[in-house]
Amino acid sequence: MKLYMMRHGQTDFNRQKRLQGQMDIPLNETGIAQAEALHEEFRKRDIHFDRVYVSPLQRAIHTAEIACGIDRSLFIPDPRLIEIDFGSIEGIEYSKMPPECASFFSDPSQYIPPKGGETIEAMTARMMDFLRDESIWEGEGDILAASHGTAMHGVLREFHGTPLCDFWVEPVTNCDVLVFERVDGEVRILDDEKISVAKGYTL
């Protein structure tokens, strides 16, 4: 059994370099094409999923539906997979972030969440809670989990022990897929099995 954690396809906010966070922004045409490319990659590798867990946001749900070919009515929503909450600054362009928040990209170790926002540590903790949840790993078949870019960066940092200041070093492009397995109760990442089908914004 393996768990495949996927980032959603591109949205207009990705292209415009805006903070979408937990705003429910749909895929654009490029994002749909990226999801279709991932579907073809799964087909070529003969990868099939017994269960699909999704962030509650439509861009993740739509990407998963295209990529795995399973109707969304069968998906299992899990709020732990949602993107980081940017609170009061969701929707603004990266270049217009207030000074106390601008370090999110330049040096995340100095990032101070805005009003109503979530810390990187809190986001990472809920993502890891999902991955270590024993009920997720019950059964035999492979699992798909549809999530988001910053959330998946948090997972990579946790597994690789990366300093917070280097949070963005390893790219997570739209529709990238990280692969995990669970051996003797311990979840581990299979770095050599990462799937990447599209070029795009990594943030």
Torsions phi, psi for 107 (to 5 deg): -155, 85
69: amino acid identity, one letter:
G
For 23, what's the count of Cα atoms within 13 Å in the CB-facing half-sphere? 18
Per-residue b or e along 38-76, where b marks 16 or more CB atoms closer than 10 Å to that residue's CB: bbebbeeeebebebbbbbebbbbbbbbbbbbebeeeebe
Q: Which residues contact 53 (CB under 8 A, 6 or more apart)?
A: 75, 76, 77, 78, 81, 130, 136, 143, 144, 145, 146
Q: Are 146 and 70 in contact (CB under 8 A)?
A: no
> Which pair of tokens denotes residue 1?
């059994």
Q: Are 5 and 147 in contact (CB under 8 A)?
A: yes
Name the residues annotated as catalytic: 8, 83
* Residue with tokens 């999704």, as numbered in its chain: 54
Q: What letter does residue 155 receive in the DSSP assignment?
A: H
Q: Are 25 and 11 in contact (CB under 8 A)?
A: yes
